Amino acid sequence: MEDKLTLIQVFAGTSSQGAVLEELPAEYLSDQKFKLCASPGLALGLAKGDIIKLHPNGDFELIKHGGNFCIQIYKEQPIKEKIEAVESIVKKELSGSLDGFHNGSLAFTAPISNGFDATNHTFNKIRDVLEAEYYYSNIYKNPYDFDDEELVSWAEDLD
């Protein structure tokens, strides 16, 4: 059987040097469609389990929401023991995961079935442990327009 797991590069923003792409593990489905195997630490509008159509330049279209929140935290010089502690908290309380950690960027996945109240409760604890704010990176219709707080339809229906 052919291995369908691969690394893809998705658009995560721009810098003074041009487009910033983030590498993510994904399962190849067909016709440039991929299922994400981890939530991104930089890219917005995506989470683990989402099915996307990927364009050659890294732009993507969300084909199907995978049922997860992607929650991102940025913390300069986090302490390893604290990272291990928050990984345990998100797994135990939300059946979630810490999908990635690189240069102070942490990417978490939490099933939306937990709802906003329980997820906020848990991430408030994590915020206190890490002394850093968290951000739901896949709940906004226009994730790269920080003045637009309109929620995607599935997020509007949660508690």
| Domain membership flag for residue 149 | no
- More confident call, 77 vs 99: 99
The yes-or-no verdict on residue 126 having pLDDT over 70 is yes
| Number of domains comprising the chain | 2
| Domain membership flag for residue 150 | no
| Domain membership flag for residue 120 | yes
- Domain boundary residue among 64, 95, 112? 64
| Domain membership flag for residue 144 | no
Same domain, 41 and 87: no
Same domain, 45 and 90: no
CB 10 within 8 A of CB 52: yes
The yes-or-no verdict on residue 1 having pLDDT over 50 is no
Same domain, 127 and 74: yes
Secondary structure in 3-state letters for the chain: CCCCEEEEEEEEEEECCEEEEEEEEEEEEECCEEEECCCCCCCCCCCCCCEEEECCCCCEEEEECCCEEEEEEECCCCCHHHHHHHHHHHHHHHCCEEEEEECCEEEEEEEHHHHHHHHHHHHHHHHHHHCCCEEECCCECCCCCCCCCCECHHHHCCC
Condensed to tens digits (0 to 9), the pLDDT of residues 8-59 reads 999 999 999 999 999 999 999 999 999 999 999 999 999 999 999 999 999 9
| Domain membership flag for residue 82 | yes
Interatomic CA distance for residues 70 and 99, integer angstroms: 10
Same domain, 52 and 72: no
| Domain membership flag for residue 128 | yes
Confidence of residue 75 (pLDDT cuts 50, 70, 90): confident
Same domain, 20 and 73: no
Tokens of 52: 């996307």
Count of alpha carbons within 13 angstroms of residue 122, beta-carbon side: 24
Domain containing 105 — which CATH number?
3.30.70.260
Same domain, 22 and 78: no
What is the predicted pLDDT for the residue at 97? Answer: 98
Q: Which residues constitute the domain of residue 55?
A: 5-64
Same domain, 20 and 77: no
Same domain, 74 and 45: no
Same domain, 73 and 132: yes
Q: Is the pTM of this model over 0.85?
A: yes
The yes-or-no verdict on residue 144 having pLDDT over 70 is yes
Confidence of residue 159 (pLDDT cuts 50, 70, 90): low
Same domain, 98 and 54: no
